[in-house]
Chain A
């Protein structure tokens, strides 16, 4: 390499210039600045999460000195939080139950609705879709709250965990249908027609022909609904009263750090346990999620 440089250096002309280190492209200040800004963004994004993880493994004395890097690690807070904080295991189970039921129901609703809006000539689909889209531009959650409370009361579902599922399904329903519609629209009409003339009925078409093609979109819808339901606060705090039927976010929001079972590292441990499942699931499904977004979820 050095030899080559030496032999080429004296030669004039554009080829030679490219090989001489001191005349190589000037330092790409633009690119350096660009990456510096992006790295700064990434650092800002990661800082609070790193801080809370570190807080959850600090020893109790360290937690009150505020130093970000603990002088002594203590990993016992996780076990302590799960066994010593009353009702906490129950709240975690409540959250898991409500969230999984919501995700399953909302995804089924969204897939079926998206399919019928795009590929079946369902009468009234224009009106239905218009209403769903309009609801996204309306403060639905706030405006409907009073009557949702009333409905839940009439159905005997006030202050129950399972009762939360029904309003939860609707929270991201319009968005989910919208996403699935975008995904279904990418599926070529010819494919639908080909399957149709081969005698495929609507159900068979959905399950055998479409399902493999909308996989990425389903991942997006699952993630959206999971995030909504797992952390929902307003409805949970309005519609439930007792600590045992409440979900994890409501309990966490009410917890203010202090001594004993609610000492800061212990709450932080609860927090990490609340956030980790979502982030691990995202790390695993990230590829499909990004692809699903690209395929059509972002269109419109």
Chain B
């Protein structure tokens, strides 16, 4: 967290590490001269033609590619193919037929799919503003803390939840919201007397409150992580801009709208798009909080897909695949729109 300027570190370290492969000074000068004539020649031993380059460099990329293709790219395409068939997982030995768009047509008319997508959108609408605005406030406040040590302490404390894996957060908050042992209702009923035990809110059982309760938990979880993002964005804004604006008599509020926010647009874009993706595709929270209760708003398209694929009837995975792809396509459309919305304008 020290004030060391970015980029200064590596070049200082240079002699220490490079010494191990050092040649004589003369040799180096000659090679430098060669380099000056063009990097292509100096690195000739690395690029003896395309095949050689392929053989020498692909081993570095290969491990990542194997995992990426094997457990992400291929499965996605395989699911896409399944969505055009009549495949049922538990109907062993039956031939699988190509049915074209039949699954998609059926899914678009399925009230559970429609309701599931709408529910996911509703959750996103609750979740997203708080997930962006609260950390932004925290970041602006921390950015103005002069005492570096104190600023670091704030950051680290806020970052603690980010170190706890999601599902463990959900388990903890399931207990927090519990109306038997949860401390939230204890505070509301026994300490603050806002409610009595007869009308105390059932945070996770009441369809009106479930999404809000989950969103609050997500804000708690994401606060520190997003604050760090915004702090990085704020640190990149030249201080002179604010000083000049102050000289011109601009208010803090005006400076926020005219300088800070436009300069944060790239960070905002990344966070809005990523968190939109998170919110629309939430499943662990819903499974842990709501299970497969269709009356609760947590039964969204993701839970419906899981239910279809691994639980209902004879596991109609082809139809579940279509449901999954419809959700994914809807998300891609919105992401495209967000990119357009946040496009660079100057």
Contacts and interface: CB of A to CB of B under 8 A. Distances in A.
Interface in A7-49: 34-35, 37-38, 41-42, 44-49
A45 B223 contact: yes
A46 B157 contact: yes
A81 interface: no
B28 A291 contact: no
A293 B228 contact: yes
B72 A140 contact: yes
Main secondary structure on B side of the interface with A: helix
Interface stretch (A70-78, A85-93, A146-154): A146-154
A284 to B, nearest CB: 12
A48 B172 contact: yes
A147 B287 contact: no
B72 A170 contact: yes
Interface in A183-235: 186-188, 190-191, 193-200, 202, 204, 208-209, 212-213, 223, 227-228, 230-234
Contact of A144 (B42, B79, B162): B79
A223 B163 contact: yes
B158 A41 contact: yes
A64 to B, nearest CB: 8
Contact of B171 (A147, A208, A271): A271
Interface residues of B, number: 112
B229 A279 contact: no
Given A208-B17, A231-B168, A142 B324 contact: yes
Contacts of B31: 197-198
A96 interface: no
A208 B21 contact: yes
Given A195-B21, A252-B168, A122 B67 contact: no
Nearest to A190: B11
A238 B53 CA distance: 41
B136 interface: no
B67 A109 contact: yes
Contacts of A6: none
B236 to A, nearest CB: 9
Contacts, number: 319
Contact of A278 (B21, B70, B165, B170): B165
A25 B266 CA distance: 38
B99 to A, nearest CB: 16
A141 interface: yes
Main secondary structure on A side of the interface with B: helix
Interface stretch (B202-210, B243-251, B302-310): B302-310
Given A48-B172, A208-B21, A113 B138 contact: no
Contact of A232 (B1, B138, B164, B165): B165
A291 B181 contact: no
B60 A275 contact: no
Interface string A149-178: 111000000000000001101100110010
A51 B175 CA distance: 10
A139 interface: yes
B196 interface: no
Interface in A226-269: 227-228, 230-234, 237-238, 249, 252-253, 257, 264, 268
Contacts of A84: none
B263 to A, nearest CB: 15
Contact of A253 (B10, B171, B176): B171
A122 B58 contact: yes
Interface string A88-132: 000000000000000001001110110111001111010010011
Which residue of B144, B159, B229, B273 has the most chain A CB atoms within 10 A of its CB atom? B159
A118 to B, nearest CB: 11
Interface stretch (B107-115, B124-132, B253-261, B276-284): B276-284
Contacts of A268: 175
B157 A42 contact: yes
Given A151-B75, A193-B42, A227-B164, A45 B284 contact: no
Nearest to A279: B163
A249 B13 contact: no
Contacts of A281: 163
A116 to B, nearest CB: 4
A65 B52 CA distance: 72
Contacts of B73: 131, 135
B10 A148 contact: no
Given A137-B274, A144-B71, A299-B232, 10 more contacts: A38-B154, A42-B158, A48-B173, A122-B58, A145-B306, A148-B75, A197-B32, A198-B18, A213-B10, A290-B156
The 7 A-B pairs of least Cβ separation, nearest first, read A231-B165, A147-B75, A116-B60, A144-B75, A233-B167, A113-B64, A139-B281
